[in-house]
């Protein structure tokens, strides 16, 4: 009897983003491609998608160049490349206009991506049908991913029937996306068998994170019940919040009687060495050690591996901010581990109340952020739900599709009290086409739309990050943050800053100043570029300079809108909106601005009615909790 062949896919992009904040630079990626090819055991490699493009922009690198250079060697070797995209949300956290979604598939195929793995945070076929259609029109393979979670409403039959709907909508392959690794192995086997019985010829791929420890058994059950491909990671980034290790899965499948390609161990060791070198270079500075360990506590909250990297970075900031408040209030400080455990418990408590959204991007972030804000607010003596971000409200109100479970009565009551309306139509209708709007903005800025409009795509997909990339601000901020992690004195930071700026050829609207923080001390850094008055960088500005009006406050009997949490300040949510301005009349409870924190938008409301006398921070500026933002008289 001929042995069934199981093919392996390396999730190299996901390996990095499940461990930490960043992925390797384009030069690093190009150096590891040939050794991956030489390993000889991979039929597919996950190269891009998800947060890959945003990470490149945060580096100050062009993501279009990165995708082209990174995928080309695999294309030449006949290894399929695959990307991850989020349906209605494309490759960002928020909904994307339809014309931008369509352009994305055309561009990514031309850049070398063969397969689009498409998922929807709510498993909503209505959101996925355009992606399947656009992928095929662009020449890509349309793979539909079932976002696996474990709840009373997410059972075996739910997923088998969901696969039927995806295939009817145009999916050419099915992926079982076990993003949190909490799918129970026997149930995964039953799901795959049910899909295989109904669709004998469709390709099925299993993707499971190892987070709580089920993934090895789940991979075996997947193979035994009809899966064709298994996603794997490899050292030094397998296990933990990442994926089951190649060597373990490979040996297990062989022992179970499956045919798998041989591994060139010399090449394996080279990929392992290079990946470790990338970590030693700088990527390890952004990887929390907690993410390198499996944790069975995550079975309960079911949070996915892909967001644990950002979660631990958020917790690091939040515990510092919360402890400042606790110290000021004469209360005992809290540890990061205590905050994490409180967060897990709160996620378990509120997830059913929010209608059991699958805990996958972006809804895993929404549930996690709501839980974290609840924990923080309740620690401060306030009520649960006293601060709920706008993105989570959008999910609750159906702006991404209907939730699989019922909302709790207290959530419905909150919506009614705030006069929020529920949406029951096609979510895409809420987000009209915008490509021509962004094309006009590019012309106004003197920016080229790029080959096949690839630069236009990046701008339309990630407007603020693209602006920061084009101005040079992104590269400066990244290198400053890197310097801060490597050094610990203001003198070293100033020296590093001068060195960083001297290497940058500033583009239009390059930043003239940045606020940085070293060991809790804030510094205002003025930036002058080479050739501009022959000055360098001044990091010696008074760090205690207050963000207060120049005229004494008492003279105006002023009141202030304070920052509810740390993050980035914005006057509007969308580029097409108009923000408040000095002289405007506002009412108590009115939304006056926004703060972006933990990948979501939080409304900033006024505690008092009056006239806006001064906007004290700039659009896009980093703010700290309790900073004075707006002066009202």
What does the pLDDT look like over 568-610, one tens digit per residue? 888 887 766 778 888 888 888 778 888 887 667 878 888 888 8
115 in helix, strand or coil? strand
DSSP 8-class letter at 154: B
Q: Are 311 and 284 members of one domain?
A: no
Strands 585-586 and 521-527: unpaired
DSSP 8-class letter at 551: S
What pLDDT is stored for residue 548 in this prediction?
39
Burial of 83 (0-12, 13-18, 19+ CB in 10 A): buried
* CA neighbor of 476 nearest in space, from 504, 515, 508: 504
Mean pLDDT of 195-214: 96
Q: Are 606 and 587 within 8 A, CB to CB?
A: yes
Q: Are 540 and 526 within 8 A, CB to CB?
A: no
297 is a domain residue: no
What pLDDT is stored for residue 271 in this prediction?
98
Q: Are 233 and 357 members of one domain?
A: no
Tens digits of residue pLDDT in 456-495 = 999 999 998 999 999 999 999 899 889 888 876 555 555 5
Strand partners, 115: 82, 141
147 is a domain residue: yes
Whether 86 has a pLDDT exceeding 70, the answer reads: yes
Q: Are 281 and 397 members of one domain?
A: no
Banded model confidence at residue 94, pLDDT cuts 50, 70, 90: confident
Lowest mean pLDDT among 76-80, 155-159, 233-237, 345-349: 345-349
* CA neighbor of 226 nearest in space, from 259, 248, 194: 194
What pLDDT is stored for residue 542 in this prediction?
35
Q: Are 625 and 567 within 8 A, CB to CB?
A: no
Q: Are 189 and 280 members of one domain?
A: yes
What pLDDT is stored for residue 523 in this prediction?
53
Q: Are 372 and 353 members of one domain?
A: yes
Mean pLDDT of 251-269: 97
Lowest mean pLDDT among 259-263, 424-428, 624-628: 624-628
Whether 165 has a pLDDT exceeding 50, the answer reads: yes
445 is a domain residue: no
Last residue of a domain, one of 292, 315, 339: 292
Mean pLDDT of 277-303: 85
Q: Are 439 and 456 within 8 A, CB to CB?
A: yes
What pLDDT is stored for residue 442 in this prediction?
96
Cis, peptide link before residue 362, omega less than 30° from 0: yes
Mean pLDDT of 167-190: 95
Angle at 155 between CA 152 and CA 161, to 5 degrees: 135
Q: Are 95 and 130 within 8 A, CB to CB?
A: no
Identify each DSSP E strand in 335-423 by its residue range. none
What pLDDT is stored for residue 340 in this prediction?
85
Banded model confidence at residue 315, pLDDT cuts 50, 70, 90: confident
Candidate ranges 178-192, 323-337, 495-509; pick with highest mean pLDDT: 178-192
What pLDDT is stored for residue 541 in this prediction?
30
What pLDDT is stored for residue 235 in this prediction?
94
Chain mean position to CA 231: 20
Report the b/e string of 259-275 with b at 16+ CB within 10 A.
ebeebbeebbebbbebb
Q: What's the longest Cα–Cα distance across the chain?
A: 91
Counting DSSP H helices and E strands in the chain, the numbers are 21, 19
Whether 171 has a pLDDT exceeding 70, the answer reads: yes
Percent of the chain with pLDDT over 70: 87
Lowest mean pLDDT among 66-80, 115-129, 379-393: 379-393
What pLDDT is stored for residue 61 in this prediction?
93
Whether 109 has a pLDDT exceeding 70, the answer reads: yes
Whether 543 has a pLDDT exceeding 60, the answer reads: no
194 is a domain residue: yes
Identify each DSSP E strand in 383-519 by its residue range. 513-518
159 is a domain residue: yes
Q: How many other C-beta atoms can be found within 10 angstroms of the C-beta atom of residue 27?
A: 10
Q: State the total domains in the chain.
A: 4
Banded model confidence at residue 397, pLDDT cuts 50, 70, 90: very high
Say how far apart CA 153 and CA 150 lie, in whole Å.
Answer: 8
What pLDDT is stored for residue 534 in this prediction?
35
Whether 278 has a pLDDT exceeding 60, the answer reads: yes
Please give the C-alpha separations between residue 583 and each of 42, 185, 630, in angstroms, as whole numbers: 62, 61, 12
What pLDDT is stored for residue 493 in this prediction?
57
Q: Are 491 and 597 members of one domain?
A: no
Tens digits of residue pLDDT in 35-44 = 999 999 999 9
Q: Which two tokens stand for residue 275?
A: 């990946």
Percent of the chain with pLDDT over 90: 55
463 is a domain residue: no
Chain mean position to CA 139: 26
Q: Are 517 and 580 members of one domain?
A: no
Banded model confidence at residue 536, pLDDT cuts 50, 70, 90: very low
What pLDDT is stored for residue 82 in this prediction?
98
Q: Are 316 and 238 members of one domain?
A: no
Q: Which two tokens stand for residue 45?
A: 């490699």
Averaged pLDDT of the chain: 86
CA dihedral in degrees (119, 312, 60, 138; nearest 10)?
A: -10
Mean pLDDT of 62-85: 97
* CA neighbor of 86 nearest in space, from 307, 283, 244: 307
Mean pLDDT of 376-391: 88
Whether 498 has a pLDDT exceeding 70, the answer reads: no
Q: Are 182 and 248 members of one domain?
A: yes
Last residue of a domain, one of 366, 393, 428: 428
Q: Which domain holds residue 624?
A: 553-632
Q: Are 288 and 318 members of one domain?
A: no
Say how far apart CA 462 and CA 468 lie, in whole Å.
Answer: 10
Last residue of a domain, one of 545, 579, 609: 545
Which helix (DSSP H) or strand (DSSP E) does residue 206 occupy?
strand 203-208
Q: How many other C-beta atoms can be found within 10 angstroms of the C-beta atom of residue 161?
A: 12
What CATH number did the domain enclosing 573 receive? Answer: 2.40.50.100
Say how far apart CA 321 and CA 326 lie, in whole Å.
Answer: 9
Mean pLDDT of 9-32: 94
Q: Are 272 and 317 members of one domain?
A: no
Q: Give backbone dihedrals phi and psi of 420, rounded to 5 degrees, phi first.
A: -90, 140
Q: At what angle do helices 125-137 and 156-168 cross, to 10 degrees?
A: 40
Banded model confidence at residue 89, pLDDT cuts 50, 70, 90: very high
The more confidently predicted of residues 417 and 308 is 417
454 is a domain residue: no
Q: Which two tokens stand for residue 484?
A: 């801060």
What pLDDT is stored for residue 515 in this prediction?
58
456 is a domain residue: no
Q: Are 164 and 280 members of one domain?
A: yes
Mean pLDDT of 431-455: 96
What pLDDT is stored for residue 251 in this prediction?
97
| Cα-trace Rg, the chain | 25
């Amino acid at each position: 009897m001929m042995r069934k062949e199981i093919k392996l896919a390396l999730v190299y992009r996901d390996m990095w983003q499940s461990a930490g904040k960043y992925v390797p630079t384009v030069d690093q990626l190009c150096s590891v491609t040939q050794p991956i090819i030489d390993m000889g055991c991979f039929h597919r490699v996950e190269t891009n998608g998800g947060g890959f493009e945003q990470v490149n922009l945060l580096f100050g690198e062009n993501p279009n160049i990165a995708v082209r250079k990174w995928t080309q060697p695999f294309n030449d070797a006949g290894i399929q490349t695959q990307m991850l995209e989020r349906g209605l949300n494309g490759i960002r956290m928020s909904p994307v206009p339809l014309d931008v979604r369509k352009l994305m598939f055309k561009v990514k195929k031309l850049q070398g991506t063969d397969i689009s793995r498409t998922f929807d945070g709510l498993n909503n076929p209505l959101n996925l049908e355009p992606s399947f259609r656009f992928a095929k029109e662009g020449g890509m393979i349309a793979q539909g991913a079932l976002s696996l979670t474990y709840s009373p409403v997410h059972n075996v039959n739910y997923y088998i029937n969901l696969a039927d709907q995806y295939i009817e909508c145009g999916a050419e392959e099915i992926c079982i996306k076990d993003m949190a690794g909490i799918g129970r192995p026997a149930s995964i086997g039953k799901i795959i068998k049910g899909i295989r019985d109904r669709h004998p010829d469709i390709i099925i791929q299993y993707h499971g994170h190892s987070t709580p420890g089920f993934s090895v058994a789940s991979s075996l059950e997947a193979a035994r019940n009809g899966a064709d491909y298994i996603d794997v990671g490899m050292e030094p980034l397998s296990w933990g919040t990442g994926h089951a290790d190649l060597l373990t899965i490979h040996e297990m499948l062989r022992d179970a009687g499956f045919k798998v390609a041989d591994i060139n161990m010399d090449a394996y060791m080279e990929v392992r060495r290079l990946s470790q070198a990338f970590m030693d270079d700088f990527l390890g500075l952004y990887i929390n050690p907690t993410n390198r360990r499996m944790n069975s506590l995550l079975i309960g909250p079911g949070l996915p591996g892909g967001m644990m990297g950002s979660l631990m970075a958020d917790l690091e900031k939040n515990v510092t901010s919360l402890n400042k408040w606790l110290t000021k209030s004469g209360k005992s400080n809290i540890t990061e581990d205590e905050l994490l455990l409180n967060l897990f418990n709160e996620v378990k408590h509120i997830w059913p109340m929010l209608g059991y959204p699958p805990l996958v991007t972006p809804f895993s972030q929404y549930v996690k952020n709501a839980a974290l804000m609840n924990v923080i607010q309740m620690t401060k003596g306030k009520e649960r739900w006293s601060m709920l971000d706008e993105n989570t409200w959008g999910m609750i109100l159906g702006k991404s599709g209907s939730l699989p479970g019922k909302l709790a009565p207290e959530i419905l009551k909150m919506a009614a009290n705030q006069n929020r309306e529920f949406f029951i139509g096609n979510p895409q209708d809420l987000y009209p086409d915008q490509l021509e709007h962004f094309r006009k903005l590019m012309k106004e800025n003197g920016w080229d739309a790029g080959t096949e409009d690839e630069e236009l795509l990046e701008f339309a997909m990630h407007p603020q990050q693209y602006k920061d990339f084009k101005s040079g601000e992104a590269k400066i901020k990244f290198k400053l943050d890197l310097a801060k992690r490597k050094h610990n004195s203001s003198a070293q930071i100033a020296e590093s800053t001068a060195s960083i700026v001297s290497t940058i050829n500033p583009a239009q609207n390059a930043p003239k100043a940045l606020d940085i923080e070293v060991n809790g001390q804030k510094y205002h850094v003025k930036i002058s570029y080479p050739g501009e008055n022959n000055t360098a960088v001044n990091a010696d500005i008074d760090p205690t300079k207050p963000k207060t009006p120049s005229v004494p406050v008492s003279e105006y009997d002023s009141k202030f809108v304070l920052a509810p949490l740390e993050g980035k300040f914005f006057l509007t949510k969308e580029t097409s909106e108009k923000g408040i301005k000095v002289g405007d009349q506002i009412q108590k409870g009115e939304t006056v601005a926004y703060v972006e924190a933990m990948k979501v938008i939080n409304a900033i409301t006024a505690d008092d009615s009056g006239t806006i006398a001064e906007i004290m921070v700039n659009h896009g500026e980093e703010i700290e909790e309790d900073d004075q933002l707006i002066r009202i008289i």
